[in-house]
Amino acid sequence: MQVQNSDIAAVLDEMADLLEIDGANPFRVRAYRNAARMLLDIGKDVREMIEAGEDLTRLPGIGKDLAGKIVEIAQTGTFSELEEMRRKVPPQLTELLDIAGLGPKRVGALYRTLGITSSEQLFNACKDGKVSKLPGFGKKTEAKILEALQTKFTTTQRFLIAEAAPYAEAIRKYLLEVKGVRQVVVAGSYRRRKETVGDLDILVTAEPGSNPGDLFVRFPKVRDVLAKGSTKASVVLQNSMQVDMRVVEDESFGACLHYFTGSKAHNIAIRKIAQKMGLKINEYGIFRGDERIAGEEEGSVFEILGLDYIEPELRENRGEVEASASGRLPQLITLEDLKGDLHVHSSYTDGSASISTMAETAKAYGLKYIAIADHSRRLRIANGLDSSSLLKQVDEIDKLNANMKGFTILKAIEVDILEDGSLDLPDEVLKRLDLVVGAIHSKFNLSRGKQTTRILKAMDNPCLNILAHPTGRILLRRDPYDFDVDAVIKKAVESKVVLELNANPHRLDLNDVYCRQAKEAGARIAINTDAHSPAEFKNLMWGIGQARRGWLEARDVINTFPVKKLMKSIKR
């Protein structure tokens, strides 16, 4: 089995998890995390680079030691130090990190004091009241862990859309190479750009006599074959994701694509309209009696019902059908609308590349400006900047801008919002910057009232321009902190503070519902990557997908503006 970048990244992430559980140096942990993230984002096949004899130390953040380990993983699927850590720390402990309320320190404590290595053992310990007696836990934390475990046991596994994408695209390309295959489309929640997906639905049209199912079940990443037939096949990949493939007749392809794109609620709403018109709609087409009258093209499904075409991201039955019928659908934002990125990190703190490299990469992506928003001093694990270091960075940016043509580097900071709502750096320093991005990185468990007051007080500071990753969630790993979202959105409108849609696929924060709520209230959004490496600028596409699900148009997003209009718009 050929090892892919995602496989190597998973091994490096496992090493980082085990080191963190064991209480290792955080800088060592971060080196593995950054390397894993880089491999997922780089766009090059590392295995091919190794076979070609290329120097891996030329990759961002990869030194000689890590390069050697990557080569070892590519050749063997593991590396010696990881095997040592697996003997020291049970690797199944990493699964506990996905449970809300648990971080590496707590997982390590549970293992060392109670011998817990599985979700089932943890569930029983919580039910018996053993966890609440441990230092640093308590009744409240125990109850939260128990609730998270009950949810985990009753829900199917889901995957970040960015994790599903490499498999979806690889299978699509693989099937397009099959003789006789004409069309391959990945439908379902993946096509609707949901932030997480449970499985993949793939639709295929093919010439008579071809049998794409035969090759589909032999896709290199298949672990188990669940079903195989002439028109349907189902497999489970090595990462436990199920993929279902259907071969569809040409005359039904559009209707089938609409049906399997979903959502179920949207399809029911469409079906009701058809019934009122005396029509029947299903995955095979639109019928008047026994006569098929449409269905070959997806657009015909909407056209025959008197509807404007509804983009896949909107199909959640949240008013899109009514808006379509009355010609009020939004002109959804596109990736091409973005002019800049207002939340970018550099090697001054925990980024992997210099300011100039980040700027040149952003320019290559077609952007016109970025804001370098490194961490402030409180975030010590990220080498946060104090006032003097920040002002040194300001001087460097001024020098770089003097030699820039057609591109602008804005001076910014991702400043910590402290527990009392104050900002981590003095106002007189923040006023030297082009913009200030505020973020919460600590005290996630404050009460709803205290957390809301904290955020609102920070937004009162006239230095603050953007509220970063506003709910603090990490998808599939950490719930949002508890605060009054309505109050924060209202404050954003009153104070002219911009709300960030963080495009990192682990965050996608704001979610789609809050994006639409903010838009309707009159708040403004910035779609930012929070990039820590040059390759992460590509995450803008996930932010755009989320924005489209939230009904956002280009006019709702401030970094669609040219830089002069942007600077004028963020003044408070």
pLDDT for 1 equals 47
φ, ψ of residue 203 to 5 degrees: the values are -105, 140
pLDDT at 299 over 60: yes
SS3 for 453-501, per residue? HHHHHHHHCCCCCEECCCCCCECCCECCCCCCHHHHHHHHHHHCCEEEE
Single-letter amino acid, residue 471 = T
Single-letter amino acid, residue 293 = I
Pick the CATH number of 335-569 from 3.20.20.140, 1.10.1060.10, 3.40.50.300, 1.20.1530.20: 3.20.20.140
Of 68-72, 102-106, 194-198, 238-242, the one with minimum mean pLDDT is 102-106
φ, ψ of residue 550 to 5 degrees: the values are -90, 15
* Most confident residue range from 40-44, 92-96, 465-469: 465-469
- Per-residue pLDDT reduced to its tens digit, 451-485: 999 999 999 999 999 999 999 999 988 889 999 99
CB proximity list for 19: less than 8 A, separation 6 or greater? 28, 29, 32, 85
pLDDT for 155 equals 67
CB proximity list for 37: less than 8 A, separation 6 or greater? 9, 532, 533, 536
Q: Which residues of the chain does CATH 1.10.150.110 include?
A: 5-154
Which residues are bridge partners to 439 per DSSP? Answer: 416
pTM assigned to the model: 0.81
H helices of 346-474, where?
355-364, 387-402, 427-430, 448-460
Query: What percent of the residues of the chain are helix, what percent strand, and what percent coil, each to the nearest 5?
Result: 50, 15, 35
Strand 466-467 and strand 437-439: the pairing is: parallel
Q: What is the mean pLDDT of residues 356-367?
A: 96
pLDDT at 51 over 50: yes
pLDDT for 230 equals 80
* Most confident residue range from 13-27, 152-166, 463-477: 463-477
CATH 3.30.460.10 given to domain 159-247? yes
Q: Which residues of the chain does CATH 3.20.20.140 include?
A: 335-569
pLDDT for 472 equals 96
φ, ψ of residue 128 to 5 degrees: the values are -85, 0
pLDDT for 2 equals 61
- Per-residue pLDDT reduced to its tens digit, 214-245: 999 999 999 999 988 888 999 999 888 999 99
Please report, in angstroms and rounded to a whole number, the separation of the first and last CA atoms in the chain: 57
Which of residues 404 and 154 earns the better pLDDT score?
404
* Most confident residue range from 107-116, 238-247, 322-331: 322-331
Rounded CA gap, 546 and 557, in Å? 13
Contact 85, 19 (CB under 8 A): yes
Token pair of 329 as six digits = 């659908």
pLDDT for 154 equals 67
Tell me how crowded residue 163 is: count the other CB atoms within 10 A of its CB.
19
Domain 252-325: assigned CATH number: 3.30.210.10
Rounded CA gap, 535 and 241, in Å? 25
Contact 257, 203 (CB under 8 A): yes
- Is residue 544 classed as helix, strand or coil in its secondary structure? helix
* Most confident residue range from 44-53, 219-228, 491-500: 491-500
CA 293 to chain centre: 40
Single-letter amino acid, residue 74 = A
- Is residue 227 classed as helix, strand or coil in its secondary structure? strand
Averaged pLDDT score across all residues of the chain:
92
Rounded CA gap, 391 and 411, in Å? 10
Which of residues 211 and 362 earns the better pLDDT score?
362
pLDDT for 248 equals 95
Q: Which residues of the chain does CATH 3.30.460.10 include?
A: 159-247
| Domain at 5-154, CATH homologous superfamily | DNA polymerase beta, N-terminal domain-like (1.10.150.110)
Rounded CA gap, 278 and 380, in Å? 66
CA nearest to 478, candidates 514, 519, 509: 509
CB proximity list for 221: less than 8 A, separation 6 or greater? 167, 170, 237, 238, 239
pLDDT at 101 over 80: no
pLDDT at 48 over 90: no
Query: What is the chain's alpha carbon radius of gyration, rounded to the nearest angstrom?
Result: 25
The DSSP annotation for 20-81 comes to: HHTT--HHHHHHHHHHHHHHHHS-S-HHHHHHTT--GGGSTT--HHHHHHHHHHHHHSS-HH
Hey, what long-range contacts does 98-101 have (CB within 8 A, 24 or more apart)? Answer: 98/152, 98/476, 98/477, 99/145, 99/148, 99/149, 99/152, 100/144, 100/145, 100/147, 100/148, 100/477, 100/478, 100/479, 101/141, 101/144, 101/145, 101/148
Token pair of 322 as six digits = 């009514």
Which of residues 144 and 511 earns the better pLDDT score?
511
